[in-house]
Structure 1
Amino acid sequence: MKLTVFAATGGIGRLLVDQALDAGHDVTAVVRNPARLTRDVHAVTADLTAPDPEALRGAVEGADGVLSAFGPTSRAQAGITSEGTRAIVEAMQATGARRIVVVSAAPVSTTPSPGRPNPPKHDPGEGPLMRYVGAPMGKLFLGKHFADLALMEDILRESGLDWTSVRPPRLTDKPLSTTYRTAVDRNLRNGALASRADVAHFMLRCLDDPGTVKQAIGIAS
């Protein structure tokens, strides 16, 4: 497949590029600094915090799948993901590209947004520790980030594209296991961690799985 990877030098993006190339896909990497790429791929220079529509259209035109690991690298950058994703969506709509898989986060399942103002108060996959300690603490420190991811999911739902939002809990740098668990529209019981390698692996799997289209999917080790 012809794939476009956004944020291709980040923690998950780099693994998406590696795994896609190893599987024989044709990869276009969209990055702010192509010098940081560690694999020989076609690169498009673009900054999703100040998007260039023409560059983004060129990056996604003809793509069989678009994968986005775009997100903030600090709490101060909370708010950038939804606008960056909006720019990707508009480029895809302009060029006819259809399939997009993005990284979200587990707490978004219970985070309200304009398009989803009344989410469940508690995720059905949460155990007591996560429900009463982990989730409230996470939202206390990263609430703005989760609200922005919830808005990103609104943008995808309204886009008309064939989207999937992957919602991992806390990310680790453990190696690929392929034994991770997933669940549609809920988080995983006792699922406090997920490796970036497993998230990348699942995102690539989603491209060939029609059952993941227009779904938010929890993932955990």
Structure 2
Amino acid sequence: MAGSGNDKIPTPHSKILILGATGGTGRLIVKEALARGYDVSVLVRSAEKGRDLGGVKLVIGDARDETVMREALRGRDAVVSALGTPASPFREVTLLSSATRRLVDAMKSEGVTRLVAITGMGAGNSVGHGGFLFDTLIFPLLLRHVYADKNRQEAIIKESGLDWVLVRPTILNNKPGRGTVRALDDLSGFHGGNIAREDVARFVVDQVEGEAWLRRSPLITW
């Protein structure tokens, strides 16, 4: 299935919280959301990390702290999670699942129901669809611990009862966006792909209002 799922006009006054806003994709999500007229808050670990994010409300703290998360969520209408973690060849990774567990609990407490979260190609039933190099070398040697935690993260979200969309980008690049993506949930015959962070950002912000991919896990690629 192709297209972005942008089937509703964004509400200019909607208030969203963005997690992972200082990462490569997160910064573009912030830029895209502001350009569409959203009121944006971001949760960052320190004021220094967020000092160059103009036009947003900064909330300082650890995403694994539910008290901090509830403060960040207060008055928000939706959440975008672009949380990421570096490759970890040897050590178990728990950041994504622990932060997401705090997030889900806090969203329920604050009455926020829409959650759009980026995981990645290799999570859930997209495992084994990354192409030869990704599936046989990169994934098992560098990313298996990261993706074990992404799978825990996805399970927490799917079991949350929230209005969620899980976005699984293929390999990210920093090329200019094309303005369109392929969004797939049938991966038969699909092996490998790449996509610009710019296009991921557009697709993710589409899902804040869109219904086409609600409670689904599209893989997005060029």
State the TM-score, normalizing by the size of structure 2. 0.84
Q: Specify which of 54, 79, 89 is matched with residue 104 of structure 2.
A: 89
C-alpha deviation, 1:187, in angstroms: 8.1
**CA spacing shift, 1:140–1:95, aligned 2, 3 Å:** same
Decide which of 51, 54, 70 is 2:67's aligned counterpart. Answer: 54
Fraction of identical pairs, as percent: 31
Cα offset, 1:140, TM superposition: 1.0
**Structure 1 position 156 matched with structure 2 position 169:** no
Aligned pairs (5 A) from 1:1-221: 1-37=14-50, 38=52, 39-48=54-63, 51-75=64-88, 78-110=93-125, 123=129, 130=131, 132-141=132-141, 142-184=143-185, 186=187, 189=190, 191-221=192-222
In the alignment, the residues of structure 1 paired with residue 37 and residue 147 of structure 2 have an alpha-carbon distance, to the nearest angstrom, of: 34
Distance of 1:213 and 1:62 partners within structure 2: 22
CA distance in 2, matches of 1:17, 1:35: 17
1:188 and 1:44 map into 2 onto residues whose CA distance is 43
Change (3 A) 1:137 1:178: same
CA shift, 1:88, in A, is 0.9
Q: Distance in 2 between matches of 1:56 and 1:190?
A: 37
Instruction: State the aligned residue count.
Output: 204
SS of aligned partner of 1:34: coil
What secondary structure sits across from 1:71 in the alignment? coil
C-alpha distance after superposition, 1:26-58 (max 9, x if no partner): 00011112333321311101222xx22222112
Q: So what's the TM-score if we normalise by structure 1?
A: 0.84
Q: Which runs of 5+ in 1 are unaligned?
A: 112-120
Residue 185 of structure 1: how far off its partner (Å): 5.6
Q: 1:168 is matched by which residue type in structure 2? A: P
When residues 83 and 185 of structure 1 are mapped into structure 2, their CA distance, relative to the original with a 3 A threshold, is farther
CA distance in 1, matches of 2:119, 2:198: 15
Counterpart AA for 1:80 = L
Contact 1:186/1:217 (8 A) holds in 2: no
Rounded Cα–Cα distance in structure 2 between residues aligned with 1:199 and 1:77 = 27
| RMSD, aligned CA | 2.1
